[in-house]
A = this chain, B = another copy of it.
Amino acid sequence: MTEAYGLSIPNQLVDVCKPARCALIVYDMQVGIVPQISAGREIVVLCRRLLEAARAGGYRIFFTRHFFLPNNIAGVGQLRRAMVWQRTNKPEETKPFFLQGSPPWEIVPELAPREGEVVIDKITMSAFEGTFLNLAMRDAHLDCFIIAGIALEVGIGPTVRQGLDLNLCPVLVTDACGSKTADAREHTMATLTETGEVFAFSSAEVLSAMSPH
């Protein structure tokens, strides 16, 4: 830890992994999303370990939960995205993958949020866009986060990048973030780790840093 200008600046993983400054974010571990990734069940197991460590350590815990707006209320960007993803030129033929309140929207039961943990509902890829996540973190004077979930290249990447722009310090738990393909994973990891600002560590390393000494 480095002290300067009255601030405490983390420069190692152990500096970051403290409940007074760091949140755990469990990203989009929903019934409709986990099975899309071949390693989905392994990611659940690793997220569970992180959750248990965070609960034991008194960390603030946030779960993100994605949904899509119904077509009749959606706009240009959402309809365009649906057309691209679902490979059709007809917006009326696209279907929101899941709506708020539907079964695939639920967080998987193994990771069910407990009392005192907060769910962030969102319609964006970055967990910080159009949500109160940054507001809540900053109100508690948190400036770091540990993130794991699915998928690295779809939503965790943009969350980490926006987190940097919000001047937060991100810890990416590499084996606890799922990807659809090895290629997608590699490009995203290369992009995220290029400048050296993102901490990227295995769950074993992060769990060790989170445990009180």
Contact = CB atoms under 8 A, between A and B. Distances in A.
A76 B9 contact: yes
Interface stretch (A27-35, A40-48, A131-139): A131-139
Contact of A91 (B9, B115, B132, B168): B9
Contacts of A11: 80, 83, 89
B60 A73 contact: yes
Interface string A113-126: 00111110111111
Nearest to A87: B196
| Tally of this chain's copies | 4
A135 B166 contact: yes
A interface, size bucket: 35 or more
Contact of A73 (B84, B136, B168, B190): B136
A69 interface: yes
B124 A132 contact: yes
Contacts of A78: 139, 167
B197 A84 contact: yes
Residue from A164, A165, A195 whose CB has the most chain B CB atoms within 10 Å = A165
